[in-house]
Amino acid sequence: MNKGIIIGIPIIIAVIIGILAVSMMPEGSEKMEVEDTLDKEIRPEDNPEIEKKIKEIEKIADENDYEVLPREWQTSGPFQVDRTQYALGEKIFIRIGGLQFQDIGQIAVMKPLNDTHKEVYLTIPFDGA
């Protein structure tokens, strides 16, 4: 019977503390509002300046038809690249041939900063093994 009282008293105290904590919470935090943004449709705001700029861009895009240039494989050592210039978004294809077993290194893809300077954009490691 002593064990029952010893176990029951801390449980009763914990319940009382829990009730007091819940009752003293501010009333604004009782309800938690969650906004479901996945199912909502995004409605753009009408802005005449933005619409004018979009129409200008669409007009330029309609005037400049995109044409795919023929592949001209450019060779540098054992590597070949399919074009000398690329349009934005075009995929770059690289062929590798003639690597020796001991050849290890990196291909450095450069992006132009201005007319005279370039910067390393990406390095692709290779191993002849």
In this structure, is residue 111 part of a structural domain? yes
Residue 113 within a domain: yes
- Tell me, yes or no, whether 34 lies in a domain: no
State the Cα–Cα distance between residues 6 and 27, nearest whole angstrom: 35
First to last CA, the chain: 78
For residue 6, being part of any structural domain is answered with no
**Which structural domain range is residue 98 located in?**
74-127
Q: Which residues pair with 119 in a beta bridge?
A: 111
Domain contains 65:
no
Mean pLDDT split into 10-residue runs, the chain, 129 residues? 72 80 64 63 71 83 75 87 82 85 89 91 87
Q: Residue 17 domain-assigned? A: no
pLDDT of residue 39: 62
User: CA 28 → CA 24, 52, 70, distances in Å?
Assistant: 12, 45, 66
pLDDT at 41: 62
In the prediction, which pLDDT does 1 show?
Answer: 56
Per the structure, the count of domains in the chain is 1
Does 33 fall in a domain?
A: no
CA distance 125 to 129: 12
Residue 92 in domain: yes
Whole-model pTM: value is 0.44
**Closest among 63, 65, 128, 68 to 102, alpha carbons compared:** 128
